[in-house]
Amino acid sequence: MPAESGSTTSRHDGIEQTGTATTLTDALIDSLDRFADRVAISVDGEEFTYRELDERSNAVANALVARGVEPGDRVALMMSNCLGYVVADLALLKTGAVKLPLNDMLTEDEFEYMLRDSGAGTVVAGSAFTDTLASLVDAVDTVERGFVIDAEHDRFDSLADLEAEGDSATAPDVTVRPQDPSGHFYTGGTTGDPKGVVHSHDNFLQNMYAHITELGLTGNDTLLLMTPLPHSAGAFLWAALLVGAKSVIRPGFDPGQALADIEEHDVTWTFLVPTMIYTVLDHPDLETTDTSSLETLVYGAAPMTPARLREGLDEFGTVFTQFYGQTEVPNIITVLGKEEHRIAIEEGEEQRLGSAGQPALMADVKIVDTETGERQPPGSEGEIMATAPYVMEEYWQLPEKTAETVENGWVHTGDVGKRDEDGYVYLLDRKSNMIISGGMNVYSTDVEDVLVTHEGVSQVAVIGVPDEKWGEAVTAIVVPEDGSVTAEEIHAFADEELADYKRPKHVEFRDELPQTPYGKIDKKALREPFWEDSDREIN
């Protein structure tokens, strides 16, 4: 890819930089070199330095380039948290390819759709997905090559093969520019298929600065990452690498293991969704575990209930930081910091524990009328709009939807909320029918489209209802076809057809579903009985 006319270029370890802005690639290469002798990550009890990650990712990157991967190509990562994910992630940045991270809880049909829609030509799969990889390579015409992380396969080379054949001394000689795409992420929609959200190198670099600043990351931190790297944990890992911190990476969350890791590794920083925090607070090992090293406990994806947040503050101290964001404006739209948590408790402002905080330093928020788009005064409800230097570039191949969502740099979040006189933002409901269950986004139409195919289901509406453990429990309200279908049959069908986090926790039956004056299913009416004791329809 040639440099643009009139621009300047510089080169760093084989990576060509165009223009005055830096790229995420350049920044991470600098960090890998600067902190070469520090421990970067701990996985499965084994530690790896920044130098080791640099050399291994160089080798993989050079091998991928030799195999035909070019700047701008979409490369999918389809695996659970592991060393291979980190190495492959860094390697893709060094090739100039665009990372397509796939949640390991998705179904094969969802994998296929995202690969096909993105035009991904390469897939790197974890050991649990080798058979899925073979099926997808056969099904998706654009996929030209596949690799496996750590399993022998008669059809695909492994990451070890790539490391063996690539030069580990330097990164590939490719051009990466600030405006070039770096990540391609899929976010569910309230209607239709998932949308591809594209972010540039400059977007992500600015976003990493926001993460470091707002979430208090320093080179002295030891992070514990237990949530999927294709989601927020991947951004936390990048930010940690930029400042020279150490990250302990687990393939999933277990409250007992989390407590053991905090004590063993002197963990100072971790991220948990509220349901995870609740299970840690309820775990019997908490009483005998030394958690005094913990300085920062970041939570997001859903607000915590004020009562349990007070319990957490009593147990761990003033360590909590909440963030609010979305794929289009990653993670850092608003932040409720440690000091705000302390003030809320000590100065009688506990209602603020139910807020999402104030706009981040690099972001801004406004509340607009959902019909007219006019800016609303403090205390008035409306749609939350957000802006930041890291707003997405586009929805992939959806220019009309992009123009509808991003208006003069402001993103329509689809969330309904209000902002008080002091600038604190409160989430009240969602324009979309998205449910946040256990920190995972569940779009009701995704579940409805599957459940309605059951022969015993005439109509179905899916809503979120308050749940102490999950925040919101996915609940299916079903009108039976002939009156004979059972809840057990619906659950069994969902087990076969839906990803774990999308499966209904509850099934209820009705003779008919309420309708709006416009003939649409009235989900607000369905939700009201469950939320009547709450001052908001989000949990």
Residues 476-506: pLDDT tens digits? 999 898 778 999 999 999 999 999 999 999 9
In this model, does residue 190 exceed pLDDT 90? no
Contact 17/11 with Cβ under 8 angstroms? yes
In this model, does residue 287 exceed pLDDT 70? yes
Q: What are the backbone dihedrals phi and psi of residue 320, each rounded to the nearest 5 degrees, phi first?
A: -85, 135
**Kind and range of the H or E run holding 279:** helix 274-281
- Grouping H, G, I as helix, E, B as strand and the rest as coil, residue 269 is strand
In this model, does residue 40 exceed pLDDT 90? yes
Pair of tokens at residue 100: 């397509």
DSSP 101: E
For residues 379-407, average pLDDT: 96
Angle 134-138-140 from CA coordinates, rounded to 5°: 115
**What whole-number distance in Å separates Cα of residue 233 and Cα of residue 301?**
12
pLDDT in tens, 70-120: 999 999 999 999 999 999 999 999 999 999 999 888 889 989 999 999 999
DSSP β-ladder status, 222-225 and 145-148: unpaired
Average pLDDT score over the chain: 90
**Kind and range of the H or E run holding 305:** none
Portion of the chain with pLDDT greater than 70, in percent: 92
Domain architecture of the chain: domains with CATH:
52-176 (3.40.50.980), 364-387+397-432 (2.30.38.10), 436-531 (3.30.300.30)
Predicted local confidence at residue 164, as pLDDT: 96
DSSP 375: B
Q: What are the backbone dihedrals phi and psi of residue 343, each rounded to the nearest 5 degrees, phi first?
A: -60, -40
**Kind and range of the H or E run holding 12:** strand 9-12
Half-sphere exposure of 419 (CA within 13 A, CB side): 22
DSSP 346: H
**Kind and range of the H or E run holding 273:** none
Predicted local confidence at residue 427, as pLDDT: 87
pTM for the predicted model, two decimal places: 0.84
Contact 125/149 with Cβ under 8 angstroms? yes
Pair of tokens at residue 19: 């223009």
**What whole-number distance in Å separates Cα of residue 85 and Cα of residue 53?**
11
**What whole-number distance in Å separates Cα of residue 30 and Cα of residue 199?**
21
Residue 26: band (very low, low, confident or very high) from pLDDT cuts 50, 70, 90? very high
- Grouping H, G, I as helix, E, B as strand and the rest as coil, residue 314 is helix
User: Which sign does the torsion angle of CA 343, 349, 355, 358 carry?
Assistant: negative
Contact 100/123 with Cβ under 8 angstroms? no
In this model, does residue 13 exceed pLDDT 80? no
CA distances to 193, 265, 271, 295, 299 from 216, in Å:
36, 19, 12, 10, 13
Q: In 281-405, at which residue ranges do the beta strands (DSSP E only) sit? A: 296-299, 320-326, 329-336, 358-359, 364-368, 382-387, 394-395
Q: Considering only residues 19 and 285, tell me which one the structure prediction assigns the higher pLDDT.
A: 285
Torsion of CA 440, 443, 444, 448, to 10 degrees: -110
Contact 88/124 with Cβ under 8 angstroms? yes
In this model, does residue 384 exceed pLDDT 80? yes
Predicted local confidence at residue 23, as pLDDT: 93
Residue 188: band (very low, low, confident or very high) from pLDDT cuts 50, 70, 90? low
Residue 344: band (very low, low, confident or very high) from pLDDT cuts 50, 70, 90? confident
**What whole-number distance in Å separates Cα of residue 328 and Cα of residue 193?**
16
For residues 251-261, average pLDDT: 97
Predicted local confidence at residue 309, as pLDDT: 86
Closest CA to 360 of 201, 215, 237: 215
Q: In 420-487, at which residue ranges do the beta strands (DSSP E only) sit? A: 425-430, 434-437, 440-443, 457-467, 471-480
Predicted local confidence at residue 185, as pLDDT: 96
Pair of tokens at residue 10: 């510089």
Angle at which helices 24-34 and 83-95 cross, to 10°: 120
Contact 489/456 with Cβ under 8 angstroms? yes
DSSP β-ladder status, 269-272 and 425-430: unpaired
**What whole-number distance in Å separates Cα of residue 72 and Cα of residue 403?**
23
**Contacts for 518 with CB less than 8 Å, ≥ 6 apart:** none
**What whole-number distance in Å separates Cα of residue 267 and Cα of residue 264?**
8
Contact 207/29 with Cβ under 8 angstroms? no
Q: Considering only residues 438 and 142, tell me which one the structure prediction assigns the higher pLDDT.
A: 142
Distance, C-alpha 45 to centroid of its chain: 25
In this model, does residue 207 exceed pLDDT 70? yes
pLDDT in tens, 513-539: 887 654 567 888 898 888 877 666 666
Distance, C-alpha 156 to centroid of its chain: 28
Predicted local confidence at residue 52, as pLDDT: 98
Q: Where are the alpha helices (DSSP H) in 36-158?
A: 50-66, 83-95, 108-118, 130-139
Q: Considering only residues 381 and 97, tell me which one the structure prediction assigns the higher pLDDT.
A: 97
